[in-house]
Chains A and B, each alone.
Chain A
């Protein structure tokens, strides 16, 4: 997921159905598998946490707040990163609107 695309992100994004997560123990990597299409992609743990919070109940600000609190990082920085991650997820069809 290297290409940043200018895609609109739903206000309260929802993770695509049928995604299964496989953690690489002791590593900053998670693989998500789409059981419907068989496609897969890997993300780091922060992006995995962002995707986990895409449950239709959280905005980008909510997600960034959680990330910022958990990782003890600057909230504004966390929001910029979260929005970038969500844009990529939207571009790849990993999240959808409510």
Chain B
């Protein structure tokens, strides 16, 4: 074996056993924000080269095969996220949402792709919030959110709202990347942004914000929502299949009664976080 690494995401322990040194740096970048552990792994990923074919497997089941080792990192990411969310349920339910913490309390940003949840999360991190996740908000029945701190990613090297310089200055983020060929042979580069302030403890949910990016909106407009209004919008963001009534029941059970709900419509993500931050600080 060339290298191995054991880490946990919430209550699930994963181990990577690699029989090749190819893609080692890229793979380690992907898992760099998770806490290492010496616990017995629940799932073991294996990377190996067999008869000129690179194979990714989990607990003996082949997940991906390719002639090109550069396919490993994206394949691993996809399967890691899938297996993690599957194995955590039903103890933890995963909401397609970003989460940051301020003074040890969690602010969740839930929305469809393009609503701006990762952007507002990034704006919060640039102002010193702690990072829990940009995609998998893990809700338990005690009203807490467990961190799933995968690297933040967006398509191009520069985000419309954040220049590389913005992100790298001050040491709040570092950057890694990996490249892989798409089916047509074009090289895709995935840029991984690694926040410096990662929260590793589960913390209580205090606020749920439903962001809506709108280029025509004022800089930022924050409105309180009734709990029922917000809960009715959240089921579409669950990563799990269950009946509509179960979705509402589980969300109602897992988001504390003390949580406050808001919508924020914004054209400027920095102003959006500033508005949210001022309100939740009160």
Contacts and interface: CB of A to CB of B under 8 A. Distances in A.
Interface of A: 20, 22, 24-27, 29-31, 33-35, 38-42
Given A29-B228, A42-B229, 10 more contacts: A24-B227, A24-B252, A30-B228, A31-B232, A33-B244, A35-B243, A39-B244, A40-B248, A41-B232, A42-B228
B169 interface: no
B66 to A, nearest CB: 39
Contacts, number: 46
A25 B252 CA distance: 9
B245 A33 contact: yes
A42 B232 contact: yes
Contact of B248 (A25, A26, A27, A31): A31
Contact of B244 (A25, A29, A38): A38
A88 B231 CA distance: 22
A29 B245 contact: no
A38 B247 CA distance: 10
10 contacts: A22-B245, A22-B249, A24-B231, A26-B257, A27-B228, A29-B228, A31-B248, A40-B232, A40-B248, A41-B232
Question: Binding site of B, secondary structure by majority: helix, strand, loop or mixed?
Answer: helix
Given A22-B252, A24-B252, A26-B257, A35 B232 contact: no
A63 B254 CA distance: 34
Contacts of A30: 228
A39 B232 CA distance: 9
Interface residues on B, range: 10 to 19
Contacts of B227: 24, 27, 29
Contacts of A38: 244
Task: From B228, B248, B257, name the one whose CB has the most chain A CB atoms within 10 angstroms.
Answer: B228
A38 B245 CA distance: 8
A22 to B, nearest CB: 5
Nearest to A41: B232
A25 B257 contact: yes
Nearest to A37: B244
A22 B254 CA distance: 13
B93 to A, nearest CB: 15
Contacts of A31: 228, 231-232, 248, 252
B103 interface: no
B226 interface: yes
Contacts of B248: 20, 22, 31, 33, 40
B249 A34 contact: no
Nearest to B236: A38
Nearest to B251: A22
Nearest to B243: A35
Contacts of B247: 33
A45 to B, nearest CB: 11
Which of B226, B248, B252 has most chain A Cβ within 10 Å?
B248
A51 B51 CA distance: 67
Please list the 10 inter-chain residue pairs (A to B) with the smallest Cβ-Cβ separation, ordered nearest first.
A42-B228, A20-B245, A29-B228, A38-B244, A33-B245, A33-B244, A22-B248, A40-B232, A31-B228, A24-B227
A61 to B, nearest CB: 29
Given A22-B252, A24-B252, A26-B257, A35 B245 contact: yes
